[in-house]
Chains A and B, each alone.
Chain A
Amino acid sequence: MTDKLLSIKNLSVQYKTDLETVCAVNNITFSLKKGETFGLVGETGAGKTTTALTIMRLLPAETGRITEGSIEFTGKLMLDLTEPEMRSIRGEQIAMIFQDPMTSLNPVMSVGDQIAEAMELHNKDNKTKEQIQARVDEVLLMVGIPPSRKFEFPHQFSGGMKQRVVIAMALACEPVLLIADEPTTALDVTIQAQVISMIRNLRDTLGTAMIMITHDLGIVAQTCDNVAVMYAGELVEVGTAADIYTSEDHHPYTTGLFGSIPNLRSKARRLTPITGLMPDPTKLPPGCTFAPRCPKKMDICEDEHPCVWRNGTHLISCHLFAGRENWRKEEA
């Protein structure tokens, strides 16, 4: 494929401290086309944010190590770039929306200045101050904030408004890739719906590719073209939104995730969570990482790490699919 924007191959990331080694991301592979929205779903601690930070090369310098793999972005190998080269990519070509709008804005800088900052840094075509200010007004309008409020400070905005400001900051330089790290987790449901529909509209008008990191399957269904389910640092299931939401075949973890969504129509008095907890990332089980919690566990699951099985666009990493009809082994 020629229109590939981002392609990640066999990426593994570890956090190393004197006491232990945390295997945060293990051997993940996925790619993203221009204008495509890719959902990354999984529970807390699955390695979603680490994946995002790795793409931005913002892992904590002291502990974070990329042990394996490659990241290719618009034909450039990201892991070979120097820090100044990375700086010119960050914010200009890849922008990121952080989880908590309450803390991701600088409290002592007016929001207008914060939006203008990225533009001043990546000012390649020598825009004048007026042009930058005009652009600030423009992006604020785009996210539905009157430009007259740009001199106000973050504490004068509500949570939903702050997240709009954060989105405006990310979009100011018209990035080709937007990484949204749980953009709605800290917001209440009505604001969530507004922000999601806004993100969707903006993506459609600007044609920005997006990685949407979330643990909310509803948001993924609303926004994403392709979806990956992440568990203990691995992608256990990857496919188009249709593969994940309508197909019969699923990784048992995905089935569990869908099973734990509360249903208004059922008379169940209790929720049905996936029993157990995610394995300790410092000592992952030798076989399938989901085996200890898996309702369909077989003997082989505890000893042998499953390989990836493919059916069209749908990829699942589980022993259940060995030898099934239509499912072929994917070469690493």
Chain B
Amino acid sequence: MNQVSVDAAAPVIVFRKESRWKEVWRRLKKDRLAMFGLAVISTMIILALLADFIVSYEAALKMNLRLKLAPPSAVHWFGCDGYGRDLFARCLHGARVSLTVGFATSIATLIVGSLLGAMVGYIGGKLDDIVMRALDIFSAIPSTLFAMAVVAAMGSGIVNICIAISLTNIPGFVRIVRSSVLNIAEQEYIEASRAGGTSTLRILLKHVLPNSVGTLIVQTTANVASMILTAATLSFLGLGINPPQPEWGALVSEGKEFLRTAPHLILFPGVMICVASFSMSVLGDGLRDALDPRLRT
């Protein structure tokens, strides 16, 4: 490891052998389950990016009533839906929308929610009162209704859906971050660092947030799946992605009409959502452990 130099007369500066992120990566690699999650989620993202080269977008839209509700076969791997559209193509192209919505909204919620939550939790006082009461108003409105209102006001489309979903999720996120920050702000090392002349912003970014990183990661990865489902709800209500564009949640809700005759219509997109959310959460758990220096090996 590092060279020890205890000779004060000829000080040799000791430098870190590996950077913080390299170390986190090294530790993450040891966690098999997390690496499995990372592999699965990366495969999904790559497949979604390369969707056009695998099956053309037209295949996802082309109707063929002779193939209505066809079961999985060598030509149509996932079978066909009620209009005879190839389900594999729809799932693959749907991944683009679903993953984009899932990640974009989770990340937006993470950034806004953690900054706002850390600020109100650490600074407290009037700011805390004002922000938290405002968020109470937000969370008093049923989230689906609120998302519907936002989409109805701004029009549908993927960006607006992301905004609507993020807005409905931010209040809950802020509350979680705030409670974790309230706890950390009490700690003596925060006071010690104030006594060292550190500014409030720096304390927030360098001392408070890194200590609540576990909560943030777990909450964010859990969010990815629930965001995909919220998007599905919106699509189902006709406010999300416009048909015939495919999207996982919309595929599930379309398929539920044929649940008894053609269960594969729900099975495949449902499994996609499950696998995506499972691999996100194991990856999140692994990341949390890898980032926590107390669990260092």
**Chain A nearest CB: distance from B49 CB in Å?**
34
With A90-B196, A155-B293 known as contacts, the answer to whether A103 contacts B5 (CB < 8 A) is no
- Interface residue from A62, A103, A122 paired with B188 (Cβ < 8 Å): A103
Which positions 193-212 of chain B face chain A at CB distance < 8 Å?
A: 193-199, 202, 206-207, 210-211
- Interface residue from B14, B196, B211 paired with A169 (Cβ < 8 Å): B196
Q: Point out the residues of chain B lying under 8 angstroms from A133, CB to CB.
A: 13-15
Q: Point out the residues of chain B lying under 8 angstroms from A241, CB to CB.
A: none
Closest chain B residue, CB of each to CB of A107: B294
CA distance A95 to B196 in the complex (A): 6
- Interface residue from A104, A110, A138 paired with B192 (Cβ < 8 Å): A104
CA distance A156 to B296 in the complex (A): 10
CA distance A190 to B198 in the complex (A): 33
**Chain A nearest CB: distance from B185 CB in Å?**
11
Pair A109/B207 contact, Cβ less than 8 Å: yes
**Chain B nearest CB: distance from A88 CB in Å?**
6
For B193, B195, B207, B292, which residue has the most chain A Cβ atoms within 10 angstroms?
A: B195
CA distance A170 to B66 in the complex (A): 80
Which positions 208-224 of chain B face chain A at CB distance < 8 Å?
A: 210-211, 213
CA distance A146 to B1 in the complex (A): 14
CA distance A100 to B187 in the complex (A): 11
A69 within 8 A of B: no
Pair A106/B294 contact, Cβ less than 8 Å: no
CA distance A105 to B5 in the complex (A): 24
CA distance A267 to B211 in the complex (A): 52
Pair A98/B188 contact, Cβ less than 8 Å: yes
Which positions 115-162 of chain A face chain B at CB distance < 8 Å?
A: 117-118, 121-122, 130, 133-134, 137-138, 141, 146-148, 150-151, 153, 155-156
With A100-B188, A117-B198, A151-B2 known as contacts, the answer to whether A106 contacts B14 (CB < 8 A) is no
CA distance A156 to B291 in the complex (A): 16
- Interface residue from A90, A100, A141, A148 paired with B2 (Cβ < 8 Å): A148
Q: Point out the residues of chain A lying under 8 angstroms from B195, CB to CB.
A: 56, 58, 90-91, 95-96, 98
For B6, B15, B207, which residue has the most chain A Cβ atoms within 10 angstroms?
A: B6
Closest chain A residue, CB of each to CB of B212: A108
- Interface residue from B191, B197, B213 paired with A92 (Cβ < 8 Å): B197
Closest chain A residue, CB of each to CB of B291: A108
Pair B294/A155 contact, Cβ less than 8 Å: yes
Q: How many positions in chain B have a CB within 8 Å of any CB in the partner chain? A: 37
A87 within 8 A of B: yes
**Chain B nearest CB: distance from A139 CB in Å?**
11
Q: Point out the residues of chain A lying under 8 angstroms from B153, CB to CB.
A: none
With A108-B293, A137-B13, A153-B296 known as contacts, the answer to whether A146 contacts B6 (CB < 8 A) is yes
A89 within 8 A of B: yes
Pair A118/B196 contact, Cβ less than 8 Å: yes
Closest chain A residue, CB of each to CB of B5: A147
Pair B194/A90 contact, Cβ less than 8 Å: yes
Q: Point out the residues of chain B lying under 8 angstroms from A56, CB to CB.
A: 195
- Interface residue from B11, B125, B206, B296 paired with A138 (Cβ < 8 Å): B11
With A137-B14, A151-B16 known as contacts, the answer to whether A117 contacts B188 (CB < 8 A) is no
Q: Point out the residues of chain B lying under 8 angstroms from A92, CB to CB.
A: 197
Interface size class of A (residues with CB under 8 A): 35 or more
Pair A134/B191 contact, Cβ less than 8 Å: no
CA distance A133 to B14 in the complex (A): 7
Q: Point out the residues of chain A lying under 8 angstroms from B16, CB to CB.
A: 151
**Chain B nearest CB: distance from A138 CB in Å?**
6
- Interface residue from A96, A138, A153 paired with B294 (Cβ < 8 Å): A153
For A99, A107, A110, A138, which residue has the most chain B Cβ atoms within 10 angstroms?
A: A107
**Chain A nearest CB: distance from B119 CB in Å?**
15
Pair A91/B3 contact, Cβ less than 8 Å: no
**Chain A nearest CB: distance from B116 CB in Å?**
20
CA distance A93 to B162 in the complex (A): 50
CA distance A92 to B196 in the complex (A): 7
Pair B211/A148 contact, Cβ less than 8 Å: no
CA distance A61 to B4 in the complex (A): 44
CA distance A141 to B5 in the complex (A): 9
Pair A103/B187 contact, Cβ less than 8 Å: yes
CA distance A109 to B190 in the complex (A): 12
* Proximity string of chain B (217-257) to chain A, C-beta cutoff 8 Å, 1 when within and 0 when not: 00000000000000000000000000000000000000000
CA distance A32 to B98 in the complex (A): 67
* Proximity string of chain B (1-36) to chain A, C-beta cutoff 8 Å, 1 when within and 0 when not: 111111010010111100000000000000000000
Pair B210/A90 contact, Cβ less than 8 Å: no
**Chain B nearest CB: distance from A40 CB in Å?**
17
**Chain B nearest CB: distance from A206 CB in Å?**
15
Pair B197/A121 contact, Cβ less than 8 Å: yes
Q: Point out the residues of chain B lying under 8 angstroms from A24, CB to CB.
A: none
Which A-B residue pairs are the 9 nearest by beta carbons?
A91-B197, A91-B196, A90-B197, A153-B293, A103-B188, A96-B195, A118-B196, A104-B188, A148-B4
Given contacts A62-B124, A62-B125, A109-B206, 8 further A-B contacts (CB under 8 A): A88-B197, A90-B195, A91-B196, A98-B192, A117-B196, A138-B11, A148-B5, A155-B293
**29 A-B residue contacts at CB 8 Å?**
A62-B124, A91-B196, A91-B197, A96-B192, A96-B195, A98-B188, A100-B188, A103-B188, A107-B211, A107-B293, A108-B210, A108-B293, A108-B294, A109-B206, A109-B207, A109-B210, A117-B196, A117-B198, A118-B196, A118-B198, A121-B196, A121-B198, A133-B15, A141-B11, A147-B6, A151-B16, A153-B294, A156-B296, A169-B192
Where the two chains meet, the residues of B that have a C-beta atom closer than 8 Å to any C-beta of A are 1-6, 8, 11, 13-16, 124-125, 187-189, 191-199, 202, 206-207, 210-211, 213, 291-294, 296
